[in-house]
Structure 1
Amino acid sequence: MELMARLGKINGFTHARNKGSAHETIVMNKQRQNDLIADLLTRPKPHIYSQHIAYINFTRFHLPKPIYINLIRDPIDRIISWHYYIRAPWYYRDMQAKLGDKLWRLNPKFLNNTKFHFRDIIFYNRVPKTGSETLIELMIQLGKKNDFQNERSPFSKPTGIYWSVERQKEEATRILELQEEPAFVYVEHMNYMNIRPFHLPQPIYINMMSSLNVRDLNNTRKAQMELVFFNRVPKVGSQTFMELLRRLSERNNFQFHRDAVQKVETIRLAEDQQQEMAEVISELPEPSVFIKHVCFTNFTKFNLPRPIYLNVVRDPVERVISWFYYVRAPWYFVERKAAFPDLPLPHPAWLKKDFETCVLNGDQECTYTQGVTVEGIGDHRRQSLFFCGHDYECTPFNTVGALERAKFAVEQQYAVVGVLEDLNTTLSVLEKYVPRFFEGVRDIYATSAEYLTKINKNNFKPPVSEHVKDIVRRNFTNEIEFYQFCRQRLHKQYLAAHLPQRIITDSAHLPGLIGN
């Protein structure tokens, strides 16, 4: 609307919007539609009118048809935005000032999640440097006043924020078996502990956070060499990112390297293979980018300098569908046969298999069972494996243990984990957090978007019904949680980089990295 108002001054048309009301409705009866149209037809032309309202067919009233325009948005993102928009304090203040009417307000019970808890126990997994000691002291005093007990976790010795599944279950069981309620339980610094998989009643979660800043979310500063290691997940748009990096290498003067095409793509490596790969990468001239389909590899484990880790994720169900049809695409086998002439072609029945039938018939290929391990070179059905690592504990499908390891690696090791569905945000964060390599990436993408979006596009992939997608989602619970975790982190990085505050960084030890 602001854009329309400004364009009106330039192009000689007027713009108006309805004044709004305390009880706005988008659906009008026939008489109100007629009244609105009659009012619009009296306005000067050319004219643009804006209002939150359902589509009105002018020709139904034997009146001339206007030029209709509108905007849409990802429906999930939009409903989340609406959820918080109508809860914002300034929303009511501004509407009150504009309308002067008494406004409808949300019932306070909808503003908190405590209605979903099953025990009167508050669980506080405190974040360091956020005033947690002050809050604990306050809760001790409130406990005396309001008659609830306070308890510090017996795990009081700092041992890292990542806990094993067994330790999480032990702590959760101990907390929730407290005989006396209500209670306030606080533990030393640790990640969020999901009680649900242990089939225990849910407590009330609370926490505090400090203001966002780039330094806290910037792992680029931890790198010990000017080398980007992009251990790319398949079917997340990584071919597009490779092409962007190839073009950026010419613009920003760094070397581009990618692993050779493999006859058998092995993403999980034995320890000696991990070390050999890390040594080869570490010997590349700086600055460089190296790209390979492989699980997260910890270079410092082999006394080698730490690279800048990057990756991209995608909606896990959309990704597994994309993978299913990618390995069946005719051009995929033409390329593979050209590279490896002795490679046998798959059976025609396998090539003709469709995803919906595969899921609905319970075909083993499309049965995603909790805890099941796919033996061999790796499990391409899920992207968390690329972050969890090479250990056997990472291999069971959709487990809490693999999820927590993957989240820990993202939080502690990766400079940026982009999200295919949030491409503009991803490019902006890459440019802010890894500028030595990604400066100018948004300009390059903008000038070549039509070509870049078609790279590796599979025109042989048919649509899949939401019904079948929902069936698959039921078995991808932890994969979906991991995807949402990465997405949340990306948006935190974006907000931190765009907040009106001075960016705080260490004195850098590498030329060209953020903070130098």
Structure 2
Amino acid sequence: MALMNLLGKQNGYGAHRDKPSPIETVLLSPLFEINLIEEIMEKEQPATYSKHVAYIDFAANDYAQPIYINMVRDPIERLISWFYYIRAPWYIAERKKRFAKSYKLPNVQWLKKTFNKCILEHDDECLFEQGEERGLGDHRRQMLFFCGQDTTICMPFNSYEAMQISKQHVESNYAVVGTWEETNITLKVLEHYIPRFFKGATDVYYHPENNLHKVNRNTVRPTVSPEHHSIHNVRNRHHIDKELVSHNHIQHHKSNNVQNQPRLGNNELVIQAPNTNEPIKSHHKTAKREKIQVDKKQQFQDDDYDLEDDEWSLKADLLNNTKKAEVDVIFFNRVPKVGSQSLMELMVRLGNINGYSHSRDAGKATETILLKPDNQRELIAEIYMKNKPHAYSQHIAYINFTRFHFPKPIYINLVRDPIERIISWHYYVRAEWYYKDLKDKLGDKAPDMPEKEFMEMDFETCVKTGSKYCQFNQMQVNNPAGDHRRQTLFFCGQNKKLCMPFNSAAAMQKAKRTVEEDYAVVGTWEDTNITLSVLEHYIPKFFKHAKVAYYLFQNRLSSVNKNSVKKTVSEEARAIIRKNLTNEIEFYEFCKQRLYLQYAAISGGEKIDNDDYLLLPEHNDEGDYEY
């Protein structure tokens, strides 16, 4: 932290930390977690923020991921260091001065205790039982700071499962995890992997006036004999925590997770959750979250898989998020103008075949895509009151069910070429039958048909004249046109600040991550056969016989809510709007690529079931899909 304070002045960023407290809150309640994230994200960027806290998944709370960094140390040296740190006279004097009312002076007998004696006499302070959940106050769990906020998985001491999740988080999310045991290597890695923040780190660290090597250093520490090191190491089996440290050393040389983080223009944020030297307690109320199941008999390998006969089945398993679902409920938060009515009707028919029910939200004049947290919770509760198995459909941005302590559903959706969606919407809301249909459904609550000028405006003219209905201003939050131009919004989530800015790179990255981690299938009617096959194989309980049902009722399903009132749009007009849809297009291509990978994984690159009639080219007529 001292290094970042100095570098902040040199490199032009703010270095922040939490307010000093007599008790550190390392495990947070969900509300506390969100409040902390919001506090961090409100800092003027670029910025760094440091706090003694277990790993927090910003993306799971619908926020852009920061640049994660941390430090590690040999686990035994950490424990010995902590033992004498809290007995150092200067530490006690400092805490008495800072927290006079709450800090109680320790007794002399406790102060004179040595680590050697503590170990040999099996003192309660130096017992480290495998799997125990006590001892949060002495920071024995280095892995906790990488494992995260799930007490069920992360609190059991020296847990194999906690180690595997910690390694996974380091591998996937941390830009750098360094160690002062390798000072020069750590400084160089920070300089090269995060130059915006750590440029010149080596020079600043070694500058004689800075004395950074002496910060918070405890000179009051007797020597611990090798015998007691050995007793401590063998008796308490710290091999798992040591394995994490070794893994972090390897991580220096493997990958750069800085480039995996979303960017908000020039906005940058580093978050550091240092291994602590302060007492801590938990404010965490255990929530039911997704558990990463680990086979303790089978070690994860860092080497590449040998993909020969098992190549496709392995990939299929890696691409299958259905196994993460904790309840037999499909949540189809359908994107407008992608043909979602057709999929809903298909699910109704399949429900009669496969034994599940389907429902959707009540029709209304305007769609509410973003909900307040209380409304999100109410919607989830309403869905889960349905008889299961069940499929639910609604035009709404992605909702993180586990954030509200509900089981994770099976997420599905459809996407469509962003330019085609926008053109589709333009003519859809200018079709007379659309307003007549709303009138039949909503009666007096239906909107009136707009003026003739609006109804007769073609897309070509709209674009070339710069009408407000065809302006696509970058990062615009408000939506004067009242349309559904943001396809990424339905995958980015309910965070308006992050997800609403139009064509935002950060929203796109968040949407990609959500698809990758949570969605079982994101298909497209532009690839009908592939989409149906992937749905059948990845969600068989709900989509068994999907191809047969679709083609049996193809005339009906391919024409549901179809708009025939659509004019040809020139390439010139398409090019004008294409340049303003760069991130929307990238997200759409990402979803298609993932769909193709899922199909390749289950088909081995071949046709599925030898159904030749399913492999005919898709028809590309001038008709249009529903809202």
What is the CA–CA distance in structure 2 between the aligned matches of 1:377 and 1:476, rounded to whole Å? Answer: 16
Would the alpha carbon gap of residues 445 and 357 (structure 1) be closer, same or farther in structure 2, given more than 3 Å must change? same
Residue 291 of structure 2 corresponds to residue 187 of structure 1: no
Would the alpha carbon gap of residues 233 and 498 (structure 1) be closer, same or farther in structure 2, given more than 3 Å must change? same
Q: Deviations over 1:407-459 (max 9, x none)?
A: 11101110000022111101000000000000000011122222221111111
Residue 514 of structure 2 corresponds to residue 409 of structure 1: yes
Name the residue aligned to 1:389.
493
Please, which of 476, 484, 491 is the counterpart of residue 581 of structure 2?
Answer: 476
Residue 544 of structure 2 corresponds to residue 439 of structure 1: yes
Aligned partner of 2:574: which letter?
K
Q: By how many angstroms is 1:467 displaced?
A: 1.4
Would the alpha carbon gap of residues 175 and 318 (structure 1) be closer, same or farther in structure 2, given more than 3 Å must change? farther
Name the residue aligned to 1:459.
564
What is the CA–CA distance in structure 1 between the aligned matches of 2:448 and 2:173, rounded to whole Å? Answer: 44
Aligned-residue Cα RMSD (Å) equals 3.4
Please, which of 441, 458, 466 is the counterpart of residue 354 of structure 1?
Answer: 458
Q: By how many angstroms is 1:197 displaced?
A: 6.7
Where does 1:361-380 land on structure 2 (aligned, <5 Å)?
A: 361-374=465-478, 380=484
Q: Deviations over 1:249-295 (max 9, x none)?
A: 11111011111111221111111111110111112111111110000
Residue 329 of structure 2 corresponds to residue 227 of structure 1: yes
Q: Contact 2:370–2:396 (CA<8 Å) still a contact in 1?
A: yes
Q: Contact 1:160–1:190 (CA<8 Å) still a contact in 2?
A: no
Q: Deviations over 1:375-419 (max 9, x none)?
A: 599861121100001112100000111001101110111000002
Please, which of 228, 232, 248 is the counterpart of residue 350 of structure 2?
Answer: 248
Name the residue aligned to 2:402.
300
What is the CA–CA distance in structure 2 between the aligned matches of 1:229 and 1:285, rounded to whole Å? Answer: 14
Q: Contact 1:161–1:190 (CA<8 Å) still a contact in 2?
A: no
Would the alpha carbon gap of residues 171 and 377 (structure 1) be closer, same or farther in structure 2, given more than 3 Å must change? farther
Q: Contact 1:384–1:402 (CA<8 Å) still a contact in 2?
A: yes
Consecutive unaligned residues in structure 2, runs of 5 or more: 1-166, 176-191, 202-251, 268-303, 607-627
Secondary structure of the equivalent of 1:304?
Answer: coil
Please, which of 435, 448, 472 is the counterpart of residue 344 of structure 1?
Answer: 448
Identity of aligned residues (%): 42
Q: Contact 1:162–1:191 (CA<8 Å) still a contact in 2?
A: no
Would the alpha carbon gap of residues 470 and 196 (structure 1) be closer, same or farther in structure 2, given more than 3 Å must change? farther
Q: Contact 1:161–1:191 (CA<8 Å) still a contact in 2?
A: no
Q: Deviations over 1:141-174 (max 9, x none)?
A: xxxxxxxxxxxxxxx994684699xxxxx96654
Secondary structure of the equivalent of 1:416?
Answer: strand
Residue 545 of structure 2 corresponds to residue 421 of structure 1: no
What is the CA–CA distance in structure 2 between the aligned matches of 1:157 and 1:289, rounded to whole Å? Answer: 32
Q: Contact 2:416–2:588 (CA<8 Å) still a contact in 1?
A: yes
Q: By how many angstroms is 1:191 displaced?
A: 6.9
Q: Contact 1:231–1:294 (CA<8 Å) still a contact in 2?
A: yes
What is the CA–CA distance in structure 1 between the aligned matches of 2:379 and 2:425, rounded to whole Å? Answer: 26
Where does 1:132-281 land on structure 2 (aligned, <5 Å)?
A: 158=169, 161=172, 174=196, 186-187=254-255, 192=260, 211=311, 213-281=315-383
Structure 1: 4+ residue segments shifted above 3 A: 156-164, 170-179, 184-199, 208-212, 375-379
What is the CA–CA distance in structure 2 between the aligned matches of 1:455 and 1:474, rounded to whole Å? Answer: 31
Would the alpha carbon gap of residues 500 and 321 (structure 1) be closer, same or farther in structure 2, given more than 3 Å must change? closer
Name the residue aligned to 1:22.
none
Name the residue aligned to 1:130.
none
What is the CA–CA distance in structure 2 between the aligned matches of 1:250 and 1:315, rounded to whole Å? Answer: 32
Residue 603 of structure 2 corresponds to residue 498 of structure 1: yes
Secondary structure of the equivalent of 2:412?
Answer: strand
What is the CA–CA distance in structure 1 between the aligned matches of 2:263 and 2:371, rounded to whole Å? Answer: 32
Aligned partner of 2:384: which letter?
S
Aligned partner of 1:309: which letter?
Y
Q: Contact 2:329–2:390 (CA<8 Å) still a contact in 1?
A: yes
Secondary structure of the equivalent of 2:444?
Answer: coil
Q: Contact 2:468–2:480 (CA<8 Å) still a contact in 1?
A: no
Q: Contact 1:246–1:256 (CA<8 Å) still a contact in 2?
A: yes
What is the CA–CA distance in structure 1 between the aligned matches of 2:439 and 2:169, rounded to whole Å? Answer: 54
What is the CA–CA distance in structure 2 between the aligned matches of 1:279 and 1:382, rounded to whole Å? Answer: 27
Q: Contact 1:417–1:486 (CA<8 Å) still a contact in 2?
A: yes
Aligned partner of 2:582: which letter?
T
Consecutive unaligned residues in structure 1, runs of 5 or more: 1-155, 165-169, 200-207, 502-516
What is the CA–CA distance in structure 1 between the aligned matches of 2:258 and 2:541, rounded to whole Å? Answer: 33
Secondary structure of the equivalent of 1:214?
Answer: helix
Aligned length: 332
What is the CA–CA distance in structure 1 between the aligned matches of 2:262 and 2:510, rounded to whole Å? Answer: 14
Name the residue aligned to 1:202.
none
